[in-house]
């Protein structure tokens, strides 16, 4: 027992001694709300030094969002998208604030911003200016609809991106009012695509010494999720329509009603279909010409659902999930978020963690969505208080206490 414990301690020491993958990478996060802050948090979780540049006074809009209050001024949403960062307040409309940003950018590797297209350029802080200061800088702009195109100047949020990309057209049930995805797929999707492109550009800059401009948009990201739907349209010429929980590629693959509620299951190939009918003692369905192939089952989806639910409604959902899984047929319960996060699997996967915070105490945070064996992500810093690191970060670029006071008098840190 003692040897095992010592071995685990040695293993932990080895992991701790090994640098995080992005240690030494300097990131300027000039973004608010979700896509930009989330992307920068992912970089920070992997070791990047992320300095969050915020407007004085109010800071990131998300600090004051959500319909309930915490002990301090920051919302739970802000606390879940900004761990591992340092906060500096800069008035980028002031000459002094702009000059400080240029000094910070000189040694940065990555800058992420999500102002309206053209706003940073009008401030004199666009890519063309910053690449003169730092040729190897990767400058990532996140927007609703991209930097070019007829919709580029429109304000863009997740709801608009879902609606205008076609995502809402395939969400919900036929003949129902419009329904958006329950989670912000355009925002989070854009964050993920932005991270992939930004890190690719950063690796390229390390090799060539030349950075580049990354244009990421919620609209493009939402469109990129449309693989099955747009392929269906390109193959048939028919615009996809909402199908509820069903699938365009195979059937049965959806939620089914049992005697006490719904569960999900998928007999999505011929072998599993045969196993399902045998398990349910419904072998006559194997002989039914409406259901003999996947194509025919898709064409008769409603009739198929009715036939299967004749049997499924005879017993509770937990019975069917356990029975189907025992037979090798994919199935699962439909859980609430509390059930998913606090259940045995979410707990085992460490998808809920707590972060120490100077005002809130212990703050729940969503856990790391991917796990690295050699350099696991770490919580190194609490989500920052507004302007918490002004003096610390600026001292690192040579701003003395007396200069700091002078810059403050020039409006660098005031709204």
**Burial degree of 297 (CB within 10 A; 0-12, 13-18, 19+):** buried
CB 264 within 8 A of CB 245: yes
Q: How far apart are CA 127 and CA 139, in angstroms?
A: 6
* Options 29, 187, 220, 229, the catalytic residue: 187
Average pLDDT over residues 181-206: 97
Tell me: pLDDT of 4 over 50. Answer: no
The whole-number pLDDT of residue 5 equals: 39
Residue 16: predicted pLDDT: 54
Average per-residue pLDDT for the chain: 94
Torsion of CA 168, 172, 177, 183, to 10 degrees: -60
Q: Please, are residues 162 and 181 in contact by the beta-carbon 8 Å criterion?
A: yes
Cβ–Cβ contacts within 10 Å for residue 41, how many?
24
- In which band, very low, low, confident or very high, does the pLDDT at 189 lie, cut at 50, 70 and 90? very high
Q: Is the pLDDT of residue 77 over 50?
A: yes
The reported pLDDT for the residue numbered 6 is: 40
Percentage of residues of the chain with pLDDT beyond 70: 96
What is the rounded average pLDDT of the residues 398-411? 92
If we measure between CA atoms, which residue out of 195, 297, 210 comes closest to residue 248? 297
* pLDDT exceeds cutoff 80 at 253: yes
CB atoms within 10 A of CB 246: 19
Over residues 45-63, mean pLDDT: 96
- Using 50, 70 and 90 to split pLDDT, how confident is the model at 415? confident
Quick one: pLDDT at residue 13?
Answer: 46
| pLDDT of 141 above 70 | yes
DSSP secondary structure of 99-113: HHHHHHHHT-SEEEE
Q: Give, for 213, the enclosing helix (H) or strand (E).
A: strand 213-217
Tell me the per-residue pLDDT of 296-322, one tens digit each, with 9 for 90 and over. Answer: 999 999 999 999 999 999 999 999 999
Average pLDDT over residues 366-389: 96
Task: Tell me the pLDDT tens digit for each residue of 81-125.
Answer: 999 999 999 999 999 999 999 999 999 999 999 999 999 999 999
Residue 17: pLDDT band with limits 50, 70, 90: confident
- Give the pLDDT of residue 8: 43
- Any catalytic annotation for residue 29? no
Residue 162 has pLDDT above 90, yes or no: yes
Mean pLDDT of 201-218: 97
Whether 343 has a pLDDT exceeding 80, the answer reads yes
The Cα angle at residue 74 between residues 381 and 407, in degrees rounded to 5: 75
């Amino acid at each position: 027992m003692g040897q095992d414990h010592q071995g685990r301690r040695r293993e932990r020491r080895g992991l701790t001694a090994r640098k995080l993958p992005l240690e030494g990478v300097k990131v300027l996060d000039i973004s608010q709300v979700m896509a930009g802050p989330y992307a920068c948090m992912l970089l920070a979780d992997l070791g990047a030094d992320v300095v969050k540049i915020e407007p004085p006074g109010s800071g990131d809009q998300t600090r004051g969002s959500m319909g309930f209050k915490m002990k301090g001024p920051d919302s739970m949403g802000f606390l879940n998208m900004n761990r591992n960062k340092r906060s500096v307040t800069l008035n980028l409309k002031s000459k002094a604030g702009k000059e400080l940003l240029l000094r910070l950018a000189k040694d940065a590797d990555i800058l992420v911003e999500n102002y309206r297209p053209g706003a940073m350029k009008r401030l004199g802080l666009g890519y063309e200016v910053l690449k003169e200061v730092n040729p190897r800088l990767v400058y990532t702009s996140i927007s609703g609809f991209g930097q070019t195109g007829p919709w580029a100047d429109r304000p863009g949020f997740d709801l608009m991106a879902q609606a205008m990309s076609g995502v809402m057209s395939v969400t919900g049930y036929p003949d129902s009012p419009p329904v958006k995805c329950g989670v912000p797929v355009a925002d989070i999707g854009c964050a993920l695509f932005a991270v992939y492109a930004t890190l690719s550009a950063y690796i390229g800059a390390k090799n060539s010494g030349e950075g580049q401009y990354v244009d990421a948009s919620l609209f493009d990201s939402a469109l990129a999720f449309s693989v099955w739907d747009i392929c269906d349209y390109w193959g048939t010429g028919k615009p996809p329509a909402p199908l509820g929980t069903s699938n365009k590629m195979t059937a049965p693959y959806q939620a089914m009603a049992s005697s006490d509620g719904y569960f999900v299951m998928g007999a999505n190939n011929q072998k599993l279909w045969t196993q399902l009918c045998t398990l349910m003692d419904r072998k006559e369905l194997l002989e039914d010409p409406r259901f003999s192939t996947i194509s025919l089952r898709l064409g008769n989806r409603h009739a198929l659902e009715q036939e299967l639910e004749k049997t499924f409604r005879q017993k509770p959902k937990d019975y069917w999930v356990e029975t189907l899984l025992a037979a090798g047929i994919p199935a699962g319960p439909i859980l609430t978020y509390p059930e998913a996060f606090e259940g045995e699997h979410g707990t085992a996967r460490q998808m809920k963690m707590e972060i120490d915070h100077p005002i809130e105490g212990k703050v729940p945070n969503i856990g790391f969505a991917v796990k690295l064996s050699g350099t696991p992500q770490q919580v190194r810093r609490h989500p920052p208080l507004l302007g918490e690191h002004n003096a610390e970060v600026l001292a690192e670029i040579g701003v003395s206490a007396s200069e700091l006071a002078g810059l403050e008098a020039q409006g660098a840190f005031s709204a």
